[in-house]
């Protein structure tokens, strides 16, 4: 089941062969966060980076509101 409309994987996660890559874009520059066995692990890495960068305004892509800190 899709986590976002028209998207099978969470925000910041892409499939790479049989594993999942996490990356975040800040100021039009993509930063590679790693390759993981599950999309959940990749999304956790994305969210950790998003919280470091955006703090309380980090958006998980799964809801319409920023995450509560």
Q: What is the pTM of this model?
A: 0.73
Confidence tier at 40 by pLDDT (50, 70, 90): very high
Least confident of 13-22, 40-49, 54-63: 54-63
What is the arithmetic mean of pLDDT over 43-64?
A: 81
Per-residue H/E/C for 10-62:
CCCEEEECCEEEEEEEECCEEEEEEEECCHHHHHHHHHHHHHHHHHHHCCCCC
Average model confidence (pLDDT) across the chain = 82
């Amino acid at each position: 089941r899709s986590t976002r409309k028209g998207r099978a994987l969470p925000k910041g996660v892409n499939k790479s062969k049989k594993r999942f890559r996490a990356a975040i874009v800040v100021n039009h520059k993509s930063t590679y966060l790693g390759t993981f066995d599950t999309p959940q692990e990749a999304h956790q890495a994305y969210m950790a980076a998003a919280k470091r960068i955006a703090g309380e305004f980090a958006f998980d892509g799964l809801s319409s509101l920023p995450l509560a800190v």
